[in-house]
Amino acid sequence: MNNTFNIHRFGLVFKKTVLERPMQLFGLTVLSLAVVFFVYVLGKQLSGFDVAQNASFLLGLVGGGCFLASFVFGYFSTNAMGSSFLTLPASHFEKWLCGILLTGVWYVLIFLLFYRFVDTLFVGIYRRSLDSNGPFFKELYEQVQIFPFDGFVANKAAIMFVNFAGAMLVGSLYFNKVNFIKVALLISAFWLGAWLFNLMIAKAMIQDVNNAMPYFLVWIDINKDQGRIELPGKLLTVVGILIQYVVPAILWMVAYIRLREKEF
Protein backbone atom coordinates (compact mmCIF):
# COMPACT_ATOMS: atom_id res chain seq x y z
CA MET A 1 0.00 0.00 0.00
CA ASN A 2 1.24 3.47 -0.84
CA ASN A 3 1.31 5.33 2.43
CA THR A 4 1.97 8.74 0.88
CA PHE A 5 -0.50 9.12 -1.95
CA ASN A 6 -3.20 6.94 -3.41
CA ILE A 7 -5.60 8.53 -5.88
CA HIS A 8 -8.60 6.49 -4.73
CA ARG A 9 -7.95 7.25 -1.07
CA PHE A 10 -7.34 10.91 -1.87
CA GLY A 11 -10.72 11.01 -3.62
CA LEU A 12 -12.32 9.60 -0.48
CA VAL A 13 -10.59 12.14 1.76
CA PHE A 14 -11.54 15.02 -0.49
CA LYS A 15 -15.15 13.87 -0.64
CA LYS A 16 -15.21 13.43 3.12
CA THR A 17 -13.61 16.85 3.70
CA VAL A 18 -16.15 18.63 1.52
CA LEU A 19 -19.26 16.72 2.61
CA GLU A 20 -18.42 16.41 6.30
CA ARG A 21 -18.92 20.11 7.01
CA PRO A 22 -20.80 21.35 3.95
CA MET A 23 -22.72 24.09 5.70
CA GLN A 24 -19.56 25.64 7.14
CA LEU A 25 -17.54 25.26 3.94
CA PHE A 26 -20.18 26.54 1.55
CA GLY A 27 -21.48 29.00 4.14
CA LEU A 28 -18.05 30.60 4.51
CA THR A 29 -17.65 30.80 0.74
CA VAL A 30 -21.11 32.32 0.25
CA LEU A 31 -20.49 34.76 3.10
CA SER A 32 -17.19 35.88 1.56
CA LEU A 33 -18.82 36.36 -1.83
CA ALA A 34 -21.70 38.28 -0.26
CA VAL A 35 -19.20 40.61 1.42
CA VAL A 36 -17.43 41.09 -1.93
CA PHE A 37 -20.72 42.05 -3.55
CA PHE A 38 -21.66 44.40 -0.71
CA VAL A 39 -18.26 46.14 -0.72
CA TYR A 40 -18.37 46.47 -4.49
CA VAL A 41 -21.81 48.09 -4.46
CA LEU A 42 -21.01 50.31 -1.47
CA GLY A 43 -17.63 51.35 -2.87
CA LYS A 44 -19.15 52.18 -6.26
CA GLN A 45 -21.85 54.33 -4.70
CA LEU A 46 -19.49 56.16 -2.35
CA SER A 47 -16.24 56.47 -4.27
CA GLY A 48 -16.62 55.13 -7.79
CA PHE A 49 -15.50 52.07 -9.70
CA ASP A 50 -11.78 52.21 -8.93
CA VAL A 51 -12.26 51.98 -5.17
CA ALA A 52 -15.09 49.45 -5.53
CA GLN A 53 -13.05 47.14 -7.74
CA ASN A 54 -9.83 47.35 -5.74
CA ALA A 55 -11.38 47.09 -2.29
CA SER A 56 -13.72 44.21 -3.14
CA PHE A 57 -10.99 42.26 -4.93
CA LEU A 58 -8.54 42.70 -2.08
CA LEU A 59 -11.11 41.84 0.56
CA GLY A 60 -12.52 38.90 -1.36
CA LEU A 61 -9.24 37.25 -2.25
CA VAL A 62 -7.21 38.03 0.85
CA GLY A 63 -9.97 38.21 3.48
CA GLY A 64 -12.09 35.36 2.16
CA GLY A 65 -9.05 33.24 1.34
CA CYS A 66 -7.63 33.68 4.84
CA PHE A 67 -11.00 32.90 6.38
CA LEU A 68 -11.19 29.63 4.46
CA ALA A 69 -7.53 28.82 5.12
CA SER A 70 -8.14 29.10 8.86
CA PHE A 71 -11.11 26.75 8.49
CA VAL A 72 -9.77 23.86 6.40
CA PHE A 73 -7.56 22.50 9.19
CA GLY A 74 -9.80 23.83 11.94
CA TYR A 75 -10.53 20.43 13.46
CA PHE A 76 -8.75 21.01 16.71
CA SER A 77 -11.25 23.08 18.64
CA THR A 78 -12.54 19.87 20.28
CA ASN A 79 -10.70 16.78 21.39
CA ALA A 80 -13.11 14.50 19.55
CA MET A 81 -12.95 16.30 16.21
CA GLY A 82 -9.15 16.57 16.28
CA SER A 83 -8.77 12.88 17.12
CA SER A 84 -11.19 11.91 14.35
CA PHE A 85 -9.27 13.97 11.78
CA LEU A 86 -5.79 12.78 12.73
CA THR A 87 -6.74 9.11 13.05
CA LEU A 88 -8.60 8.91 9.74
CA PRO A 89 -6.73 6.33 7.63
CA ALA A 90 -5.31 8.71 5.05
CA SER A 91 -1.81 10.12 4.70
CA HIS A 92 -0.76 13.51 6.00
CA PHE A 93 -0.01 14.49 2.43
CA GLU A 94 -3.54 13.66 1.28
CA LYS A 95 -5.09 15.58 4.17
CA TRP A 96 -2.78 18.53 3.52
CA LEU A 97 -3.50 18.47 -0.21
CA CYS A 98 -7.24 18.68 0.49
CA GLY A 99 -6.67 21.85 2.50
CA ILE A 100 -4.43 23.31 -0.18
CA LEU A 101 -6.89 22.53 -2.98
CA LEU A 102 -9.84 23.99 -1.09
CA THR A 103 -7.99 27.16 -0.16
CA GLY A 104 -5.69 27.73 -3.09
CA VAL A 105 -7.72 26.37 -5.99
CA TRP A 106 -11.39 25.84 -5.17
CA TYR A 107 -11.98 29.13 -3.37
CA VAL A 108 -9.77 31.17 -5.70
CA LEU A 109 -11.57 29.86 -8.80
CA ILE A 110 -15.01 30.46 -7.35
CA PHE A 111 -14.03 33.91 -6.17
CA LEU A 112 -12.51 34.92 -9.52
CA LEU A 113 -15.54 33.67 -11.44
CA PHE A 114 -17.93 35.45 -9.11
CA TYR A 115 -15.86 38.63 -9.12
CA ARG A 116 -15.66 38.69 -12.90
CA PHE A 117 -19.41 38.16 -13.13
CA VAL A 118 -20.22 41.00 -10.69
CA ASP A 119 -17.65 43.34 -12.23
CA THR A 120 -18.84 42.65 -15.78
CA LEU A 121 -22.44 43.15 -14.69
CA PHE A 122 -21.86 46.53 -13.05
CA VAL A 123 -19.48 47.80 -15.71
CA GLY A 124 -22.04 46.72 -18.35
CA ILE A 125 -24.86 48.49 -16.52
CA TYR A 126 -22.73 51.62 -16.27
CA ARG A 127 -21.82 51.56 -19.95
CA ARG A 128 -25.39 50.94 -21.06
CA SER A 129 -26.48 53.90 -18.95
CA LEU A 130 -24.29 56.25 -20.99
CA ASP A 131 -25.74 58.35 -23.80
CA SER A 132 -24.00 57.06 -26.89
CA ASN A 133 -24.67 60.35 -28.66
CA GLY A 134 -23.26 62.46 -25.82
CA PRO A 135 -20.11 64.52 -26.41
CA PHE A 136 -18.00 62.64 -23.83
CA PHE A 137 -19.33 59.15 -24.52
CA LYS A 138 -15.96 57.67 -25.52
CA GLU A 139 -14.13 59.15 -22.54
CA LEU A 140 -16.84 58.12 -20.10
CA TYR A 141 -17.07 54.66 -21.68
CA GLU A 142 -13.34 54.06 -21.37
CA GLN A 143 -13.12 55.59 -17.92
CA VAL A 144 -14.49 52.39 -16.40
CA GLN A 145 -12.81 49.15 -17.36
CA ILE A 146 -13.20 45.56 -16.33
CA PHE A 147 -10.79 44.90 -13.43
CA PRO A 148 -7.65 43.31 -14.90
CA PHE A 149 -6.54 40.12 -13.15
CA ASP A 150 -2.98 40.79 -14.26
CA GLY A 151 -2.86 44.39 -13.04
CA PHE A 152 -0.94 45.95 -10.14
CA VAL A 153 -3.67 45.56 -7.49
CA ALA A 154 -4.46 41.97 -8.48
CA ASN A 155 -0.75 41.15 -8.30
CA LYS A 156 -0.36 42.70 -4.84
CA ALA A 157 -3.56 40.99 -3.67
CA ALA A 158 -2.24 37.64 -4.92
CA ILE A 159 1.03 38.16 -3.01
CA MET A 160 -0.90 39.03 0.14
CA PHE A 161 -3.19 36.03 -0.36
CA VAL A 162 -0.43 33.43 -0.69
CA ASN A 163 1.41 34.82 2.33
CA PHE A 164 -1.50 35.42 4.68
CA ALA A 165 -3.40 32.26 3.69
CA GLY A 166 -0.18 30.30 4.25
CA ALA A 167 0.16 31.88 7.68
CA MET A 168 -3.48 30.99 8.43
CA LEU A 169 -2.92 27.35 7.42
CA VAL A 170 0.10 27.11 9.70
CA GLY A 171 -1.67 29.00 12.48
CA SER A 172 -4.70 26.71 12.39
CA LEU A 173 -2.34 23.81 13.12
CA TYR A 174 -0.61 25.62 15.99
CA PHE A 175 -3.59 27.27 17.67
CA ASN A 176 -6.42 24.89 18.48
CA LYS A 177 -9.00 27.56 19.27
CA VAL A 178 -9.90 30.93 17.68
CA ASN A 179 -6.97 30.48 15.34
CA PHE A 180 -8.21 33.09 12.84
CA ILE A 181 -8.10 35.88 15.41
CA LYS A 182 -4.80 34.74 16.89
CA VAL A 183 -3.06 34.55 13.53
CA ALA A 184 -4.59 37.88 12.40
CA LEU A 185 -3.20 39.48 15.57
CA LEU A 186 0.21 37.90 14.97
CA ILE A 187 0.31 39.09 11.35
CA SER A 188 -0.69 42.60 12.46
CA ALA A 189 1.96 42.59 15.17
CA PHE A 190 4.58 41.36 12.70
CA TRP A 191 3.58 43.99 10.13
CA LEU A 192 3.67 46.76 12.74
CA GLY A 193 7.00 45.55 14.10
CA ALA A 194 8.54 45.38 10.62
CA TRP A 195 7.28 48.87 9.78
CA LEU A 196 8.60 50.38 13.05
CA PHE A 197 11.91 48.57 12.68
CA ASN A 198 12.30 49.76 9.09
CA LEU A 199 11.39 53.30 10.11
CA MET A 200 13.92 53.21 12.94
CA ILE A 201 16.70 51.96 10.66
CA ALA A 202 15.78 54.48 7.95
CA LYS A 203 15.79 57.37 10.45
CA ALA A 204 19.17 56.30 11.75
CA MET A 205 20.64 56.37 8.23
CA ILE A 206 18.70 59.05 6.35
CA GLN A 207 17.66 62.57 7.37
CA ASP A 208 14.10 63.92 7.05
CA VAL A 209 12.45 60.54 6.76
CA ASN A 210 8.69 60.90 6.47
CA ASN A 211 7.71 57.24 6.37
CA ALA A 212 9.21 53.85 5.63
CA MET A 213 7.27 50.95 4.22
CA PRO A 214 7.91 47.59 5.79
CA TYR A 215 10.71 46.52 3.50
CA PHE A 216 11.13 48.26 0.18
CA LEU A 217 10.39 52.01 0.29
CA VAL A 218 11.39 55.13 2.26
CA TRP A 219 9.62 58.46 1.84
CA ILE A 220 11.67 61.57 2.65
CA ASP A 221 10.71 65.22 2.99
CA ILE A 222 12.48 67.53 0.58
CA ASN A 223 11.41 71.06 1.47
CA LYS A 224 7.67 71.03 0.81
CA ASP A 225 7.78 67.98 -1.49
CA GLN A 226 8.27 64.30 -0.84
CA GLY A 227 10.71 61.97 -2.52
CA ARG A 228 11.02 58.18 -2.41
CA ILE A 229 14.01 55.95 -2.07
CA GLU A 230 13.55 52.39 -3.27
CA LEU A 231 15.70 49.36 -2.81
CA PRO A 232 18.26 48.97 -5.61
CA GLY A 233 16.80 47.13 -8.61
CA LYS A 234 18.46 43.75 -8.09
CA LEU A 235 17.81 43.72 -4.38
CA LEU A 236 14.18 44.66 -4.98
CA THR A 237 13.88 41.73 -7.38
CA VAL A 238 15.40 39.36 -4.83
CA VAL A 239 13.11 40.61 -2.06
CA GLY A 240 10.17 40.46 -4.48
CA ILE A 241 10.92 36.80 -5.31
CA LEU A 242 11.26 36.02 -1.63
CA ILE A 243 7.91 37.53 -0.78
CA GLN A 244 6.11 36.32 -3.87
CA TYR A 245 7.37 32.74 -3.98
CA VAL A 246 9.81 31.67 -1.29
CA VAL A 247 8.02 32.77 1.88
CA PRO A 248 4.59 31.45 0.75
CA ALA A 249 6.15 28.15 -0.34
CA ILE A 250 7.80 27.84 3.06
CA LEU A 251 4.56 28.66 4.88
CA TRP A 252 2.47 26.18 2.89
CA MET A 253 5.13 23.51 3.36
CA VAL A 254 5.40 24.23 7.08
CA ALA A 255 1.66 23.50 7.27
CA TYR A 256 2.41 20.01 5.92
CA ILE A 257 5.29 19.45 8.32
CA ARG A 258 3.22 20.73 11.22
CA LEU A 259 0.38 18.38 10.28
CA ARG A 260 2.80 15.45 10.35
CA GLU A 261 4.16 16.47 13.72
CA LYS A 262 0.84 17.52 15.22
CA GLU A 263 0.17 16.01 18.63
CA PHE A 264 -3.27 16.32 20.07
Partner 1 sequence: MIEIQNMSFGYNSKKLLYKNLSLSLETGSIYGLLGRNGAGKSTLLKNMIGLLFPLEGTIEVNGFSPKKRLPSFLETIYFIPEEVYVPSLTIKKYINLFSPFYPNFNAAQMCNHLQELDVKTADKLNTLSFGQQKKFIIAFGLACNTKVLLLDEPTNGLDIPSKKRFRKLIASEMNDDRMIFISTHQIRDLDNLIDRVVIVDDGQLLLDASVAAIGEKLLFTDVDEIQDKDKILYAEESLHGISIVTENTINADTKVNLEHLFNAVTENPERIKQLFKLINKVK
Report how far residue 236's alpha carbon sits from residue 231's, in angstroms, rounded to the nearest whole number: 5
Query: Vertex 172, ends 186 and 63: CA angle to 5°?
Result: 65
Q: Where are the alpha helices (DSSP H) in the chain?
A: 7-20, 22-47, 49-58, 65-72, 79-86, 92-100, 108-128, 137-143, 152-174, 179-205, 233-241, 247-261
Binding test (CB under 8 A) with partner 1, winner from 23, 204, 205, 222? 23
Report the site for partner 1 in 62-81 (rule: CB under 8 A): 78-81
Task: Please choose, out of 86-94, 115-123, 150-158, 188-196, the segment that lies near partner 1 by the rule CB under 8 A.
Answer: 86-94
Q: Is 91 in the site for partner 1 (CB under 8 A)?
A: yes
Q: Which is nearer to partner 1, 30 or 109 (CB)?
A: 30
Report how far residue 17's alpha carbon sits from residue 11's, in angstroms, rounded to the nearest whole number: 10
Query: How near is the Cβ of 9 to partner 1 at its closest, in Å?
Result: 7
Q: Is 170 in the site for partner 1 (CB under 8 A)?
A: no
Other C-beta atoms within 10 Å of 158: how many?
A: 19
Q: Is 156 in the site for partner 1 (CB under 8 A)?
A: no
Query: Vertex 177, ends 172 and 179: CA angle to 5°?
Result: 40
Task: Please choose, out of 15-23, 143-151, 171-179, 246-254, the segment that lies near partner 1 by the rule CB under 8 A.
Answer: 15-23
Query: How near is the Cβ of 71 to partner 1 at its closest, in Å?
Result: 14
Q: Is 264 in the site for partner 1 (CB under 8 A)?
A: yes
Q: Is 176 in the site for partner 1 (CB under 8 A)?
A: no
β-strand partners of 229: 218
Query: How near is the Cβ of 98 to partner 1 at its closest, in Å?
Result: 13
Query: How near is the Cβ of 197 to partner 1 at its closest, in Å?
Result: 34
Q: Which is nearer to partner 1, 88 or 194 (CB)?
A: 88
Cα torsion through 202, 205, 210, 216, rounded to 10: -40
Q: Which is nearer to partner 1, 241 or 257 (CB)?
A: 257
Return the SS3 of 219: strand
Report how far residue 56's alpha carbon sits from residue 37's, in angstroms, rounded to the nearest whole number: 7
The identity of residue 31, as a single letter, is: L
Binding test (CB under 8 A) with partner 1, winner from 45, 89, 133, 234? 89
Query: How near is the Cβ of 261 to partner 1 at its closest, in Å?
Result: 8
Q: Is 16 in the site for partner 1 (CB under 8 A)?
A: yes
Report how far residue 179's alpha carbon sits from residue 172's, in angstroms, rounded to the nearest whole number: 5
Which residues are near partner 1 by CB under 8 A? 1, 3, 6, 9, 12, 15-16, 19-23, 78-84, 86-92, 260, 263-264
